[in-house]
A and B are shown apart, each in its own frame.
Chain A
């Protein structure tokens, strides 16, 4: 695969990533958000595979496969399990209206482009829009974490944000070393497990979600 074709494919995958991210931001049902974040992880794995094919780097192939298995299959499965266990209503409750979140997403995109152009001479492995797309994916993931009330959706935001960081890393340095990437993925799994246990425990002991835990009582 020529580097030129790879750059175009990564560019197109970036568009799909952004579109899935907008869907996560606009989703008002938990199930849909989980499906969409799984789809996003599939695209991330695709991007890894494309880059792996372009650079003949075996590590990237391994990362792509691990990403596919863990982030597109295992984590959504875990999330669905938690959703079923706590039988929460499926509506996503947000701190600010979802339309406002979408408007903020527009601002984030502009900020991301400004940031990446002011970074100046960062050596990009992939020319084009991959760096600003990666930055805006990361920031939009953070936006999801900030603007949603329930721990589960914040977890989805975390995964999406992690996808964005992965994409940024690929844009700047053709992916991180295998050992770091494996460590990050393990961290994400661990985070998901801890968050899952936390959600279940909080629900079983005080019958509410973490957004209600905002006051200290002495």
Chain B
């Protein structure tokens, strides 16, 4: 294998995730609309929204510092770095020369996501708007509930694979050495609960609202406009598909271990199929549940916490 190939592969998979991110958002919104007997916007609506945002000029609050202008770019950069760490369709067979993505492991990925979250909140606080402050405070509260559980889930899978490297975990799965048992099921359940929180969807957050006190993510974006807002929205689309890809990498990786076009096509179809299934899950939950009251959230996310804890206990004890 030539020297440059791993990097090209990592960047290629990252580009794939970024390109497909808005489509997944569009798909979820379309499915949700159909479930609610509306016709809904087209699948490509998020792309149009992004194009519109990047064409616009931007305004800035008088109170904002120079950090405010840098935040969208930094958030997007952090999220893209996270996207580069997830194997999507291809993973090198283990033992050849380590990971195909020689960049970092699951812990670094979660770290990038946390950094993106922190920067978004910092930007919201910097602008000084009341909604932004509220949104940031709530988002950080949710973060303290979500991130430890994500780490526990990642560890419970990593213990079985013997590595925190995502490529190693995937290789462990695809080579059939992994027996899918009770710990995996529980970790998967925990991950599905977290998926709702991480993608900012009902019952944790309502992605459709801009002007309510209940909003978390949208509240933090209120002060941003134009290309800056575009960066943040794109970062959110990307984060969503990164978490979806992470679920697949940890539990059900349909990945190719050779570079033949046929294997890659099969792997891509598997990825697309599982993504549609997860999108349907998100849309179903969103169409059939109401948003939880904020102080009920620890109770809801507690389900994820105990499940993840049980998964780790089953694996370790």
Question: B145 — nearest CB in chain A belongs to which residue?
Answer: A99
Taking CB atoms and an 8 Å cut-off, the chain A residues in 127-175 that contact chain B are 128-129, 132-133
A200 within 8 A of B: no
Q: Which residues of B contact A99 (CB under 8 A)?
A: 298-299, 302
B307 touches A19 (CB 8 A): yes
State which of A55-63, A72-80, A106-114, A179-187 sits at the interface with chain B.
A106-114
CB distance from A81 to the nearest CB of B (A): 25
B182 touches A26 (CB 8 A): no
A106 to B317, CA, bound (A): 13
B310 touches A109 (CB 8 A): yes
B176 within 8 A of A: no
Contact flags (1/0) for A60-91 with B, using CB distance below 8 Å? 00000000000000000000000000000000
A22 touches B299 (CB 8 A): no
Taking CB atoms and an 8 Å cut-off, the chain B residues in 296-317 that contact chain A are 296, 298-300, 302-303, 305-307, 309-310, 313-314, 317
- Tally of contact residues, B, Cβ under 8 A: 21
Main secondary structure of the interface of A (DSSP, over half): helix
Known: A23-B303, A98-B302, A102-B299. A113 touches B182 (CB 8 A): no
Interface residues on A, range: 20 to 34
CB distance from A131 to the nearest CB of B (A): 12
State which of A10-18, A45-53, A204-212 sits at the interface with chain B.
A10-18
A28 within 8 A of B: yes
A117 touches B317 (CB 8 A): yes
Q: Which residues of B contact A110 (CB under 8 A)?
A: 313, 317
A12 to B186, CA, bound (A): 9
B313 touches A19 (CB 8 A): no
A19 touches B189 (CB 8 A): yes
Contact of A102 among B179, B186, B305 (CB under 8 A): B305
Known: A105-B306, A106-B309. A15 touches B182 (CB 8 A): yes
Known: A19-B307, A110-B313. A129 touches B299 (CB 8 A): no
A1 to B87, CA, bound (A): 36
CB distance from A144 to the nearest CB of B (A): 13
CB distance from A37 to the nearest CB of B (A): 15
A109 touches B302 (CB 8 A): no
The chain A residues found within 8 Å of chain B, CB to CB, are 8, 11-12, 14-16, 18-19, 22-23, 25-26, 28, 98-99, 102-103, 105-106, 109-110, 113-114, 117, 128-129, 132-133
The chain B residues found within 8 Å of chain A, CB to CB, are 179, 181-183, 185-186, 189, 296, 298-300, 302-303, 305-307, 309-310, 313-314, 317
